[in-house]
Amino acid sequence: MSTRLPTRPPKFESVNAPRFAIVASEYNPEFVQGLINNTCKELYKIEERSAIELFSAPGSFEIPFVAEMVAAMRKHDVVIALGLILQGKTKHAEFIAQSVSGALQQVALKHAVPVIHEVLLVATEEEARERCLGKELNRGVEAARAAFAILRTRQQLRVAASGRPVK
């Protein structure tokens, strides 16, 4: 697990404003809202023209279903999944986290739309605060930076596929 945020990518260069869909869980609202706020703030810092549309899911388990519907619309350049699963005394949280992870990957592959996975499985509320509300290890900021990184990679791949020289 990383212990610090990746560096902010350079200014995003594109003719069109990047379009992001955020699919966020309504469960654990204080922490998920922190992820949403930090993701949006960082997306706008990197590219002020960013277009962001928010979709909600009742809980983390339902995020892949909503992400599937959003990706199928083909309106967004990147889907960002945000949620928090708090580990309890049983393995239930682990089962949900594994299911969500696999399903989100399938959505990305099926639709060829990048899906940034920040549905967090944490052991304690302290960990949740650090990752969702904190400044040094905020996963919302990390999600935004990863979204722009994958957009750059996709641009490079499209240029390479077109036969034009890659810059």
The conformation of residue 74, written as its DSSP 8-state character, comes to T
Strand partners, 66: none
Select which of 76, 92, 111, 117 is catalytic. Answer: 92
Structure tokens at 124: 């304690």
State how far the Cα of 55 lies from the Cα of 13, in Å rounded to an integer: 26
- Residue 117 annotated as catalytic: no
- Phi and psi for 56 in degrees, rounded to 5? -110, 155
> What residues are paired with 83 via a beta bridge?
119
Active-site residue list: 92
